Amino acid sequence: MKMISNIKTNSSLFKHTVYVIAFLTLFIKPIAINAQNNLSLKEVIETGMKSNLGIQASELESKMHNQLTRSAFEVPKTELSGTFGQINSNAKDKNFGVSQSFNPFQYGAKKKWLNENNTAGQLRVKATQQDIVFNIRQAWNTMLFYTKQNQLLVQQNQLMEKFVRSASLKFQTGESNSLEKTIAIAKQQELQQLIKQNEAKIWVEKSKIKTLINRDSDFTPADTAFIPMVTLAVADSSRLKQNSNLQLAAQQVQIAEAAKKVEKSAFFPDITAGYAIQSITGTQEINGQSVDYDNALRFQTFSVGIAIPIFAGSTVAKTKAAQSNIEMQQKNAAYLESQLKSQFQQQFEELKTYQSLVDYYQGTALPNAKKISTNATKAYQNGDISYVEYVQSIETALNIRLNYSNAIHNYNQTAINIQYLIHQ
């Protein structure tokens, strides 16, 4: 009986444990999934740095250039030769030789060129990362912008729903004509269409972000606060030196200069060294005495030679072309730097303009919008203004709030442009 009692107790405990696990599974799993779907901008950027296919391709290119740096000391193929037959007399002899040519003046120049390409590969990774971060920030800011717009439109739509019901009731009781009801319904339908359009735009921006971070599943923004970003206080163009594209342009000059040295190294001679061993069958006079030799390999020779570029017209042309390439890359780098400086100044001036606009809305326009909404509601409820006047008033307040969010969007996009220019 005691054993049966223990079995029942253990069975009860097992069932209790199963129920607890099932309960925790129901509640903890959705929380884990929800946490996984909630992403902040920082988390999205971090994911993009790891998962973006463009960045991964750039990293593989950089890896390739790094592997190629070990190919600088590339020695031409070793030549092995053999000669058979009547080499020295009617007897059949044999000769085996090995020779190797190389250009010691070329290895250093080629090593330098490969190292410069390796550095460029690393900079391309940074430039790709810079582009991806820029695109993510732009799409994120635009997504929050349309989300904020929708919040305002939904609030307006909820307000309009109340007055559609009110206008319909007043029409049914004969307190107003059909015009008031028709206007209310038309305004509400217009708002609903705008909400649908914004929802589609939000989906588009989310889709861009998912592509950038190589993600299939949907996500929810963890930080939805749509406020002006913190940016530079002073337009310091020296920060443009941090721009990866500008660094890459300067590196192209280094690559071109290294490539010229590789071409010039062809003016130096190639050196050839060889060794051969052969047989001489028959009688040979050695120190006044006749010695008979069989077909064994015993006579050795060494050779050294140089290959001089007498017909160097092609090398001269390539060297001149390499110099032209250096000058071209220098012009490209200088032009890009000039463009970036101009864009930086333009963006900074635009930022100040948008900052002034944001300050205006925060200090003047938004408080006025609040007053307009409050006073119009009271006046309409008291019967001091008509429904049409009331609708015009709340639409004016709505447009002020929509324009304010648009000003924040423009301000943030300009700030993101500046961040891109200085690789911040």
Query: What does each C-alpha distance from 261 to 65, 251, 319 come to in angstroms?
Result: 19, 16, 8
pLDDT category, 19, cuts 50, 70, 90?
very low
CB 246 within 8 A of CB 329: no
Question: In one letter, which amino acid is 397?
Answer: A
Compare 317 and 309 and report the one with higher pLDDT.
317
> What are 220's strand-pairing partners?
38
The whole-angstrom separation of Cα 122 and Cα 101 is 34
pLDDT at residue 174 in the model: 60
Give domain limits for the chain: 16-51+103-269+308-421
pLDDT tens profile 243-297: 999 999 999 999 999 999 999 988 888 899 999 998 888 877 777 778 888 888 8
Q: Out of 17-26, 63-72, 353-362, 413-422, pick the least confident.
A: 17-26
Give Cα 73 distance to the centre of its chain: 34
Select from 1.10.1740.10, 3.40.190.10, 1.10.1330.10, 1.20.1600.10 the CATH code of 16-51+103-269+308-421.
Answer: 1.20.1600.10
**pLDDT average, residue stretch 150-168:** 79
Question: How would you classify the pairing of strands 289-293 and 282-286?
Answer: antiparallel
Going by their DSSP bridges, the two strands 220-221 and 38-39 should be labelled as parallel
Residue 212 burial by Cβ neighbours in a 10 Å radius (0-12, 13-18, 19+): buried
CB of 282 within 8 A of CB of 91?
Answer: yes
Sheet holding 270-278, edge to edge: 79-85, 93-102, 270-278, 299-307
Band the pLDDT of 161: cuts 50, 70, 90: confident
* Res 291: pLDDT: 81
Residue 113 CA to residue 111 CA, distance in Å, equals 5
229 alpha carbon, distance to own chain's centre: 22
Q: Determine contact, residues 387/380, Cβ cutoff 8 Å.
A: yes
Query: Quick one: pLDDT band at residue 167, thresholds 50, 70, 90?
Result: low
Number of Cβ atoms within 10 Å of the Cβ of 342: 11
Please indicate whether residue 87 or residue 170 has the higher confidence score (pLDDT).
Answer: 87
Contact 381, 338 (CB under 8 A): no
Is residue 206 within 8 Å of residue 136, measured between CB atoms?
no
pLDDT band at 9 (very low <50, low <70, confident <90, very high): very low
Q: Which amino acid is at 97?
A: G
β partners of residue 276:
97, 301
Give the C-alpha separation, 235 to 347, whole Å.
10
Confidence band for 179, pLDDT divided at 50, 70 and 90: low
pLDDT digits (tens, 9 = 90+) for 320-375: 999 999 999 999 999 999 999 999 999 999 999 999 999 999 999 999 999 998 99
pLDDT in tens, 192-230: 899 999 999 999 999 999 999 999 999 999 988 899 988
Q: Residue 22: pLDDT above 70?
A: no
Q: What is the pLDDT of residues 376-406, one digit of tens each?
A: 888 887 888 877 788 889 899 999 999 999 9
What secondary structure, in 3-state letters, does the chain show? CHHHHHHHHHHHHHHHHHHHHHHHHHHHHHHHHHHHHEECHHHHHHHHHHHCHHHHHHHHHHHHHHHHHHHCCCCCCCEEEEEEECCCCCCCEEEEEEEEEECHHHHHHHHHHHHHHHHHHHHHHHHHHHHHHHHHHHHHHHHHHHHHHHHHHHHHHHHHHHHHHHHHHHHHCCCCCHHHHHHHHHHHHHHHHHHHHHHHHHHHHHHHHHHHCCCCCCCEECCCCCCCCCCCCCCCHHHHHHCHHHHHHHHHHHHHHHHHHHHHHHHCCEEEEEEEEECCCEEEEECCEEEEECCCCCEEEEEEEEECCCCCHHHHHHHHHHHHHHHHHHHHHHHHHHHHHHHHHHHHHHHHHHHHHHHHHHHHHHHHHHHHHHHHHHHHHCCCCCHHHHHHHHHHHHHHHHHHHHHHHHHHHHHHHHHHHCCC
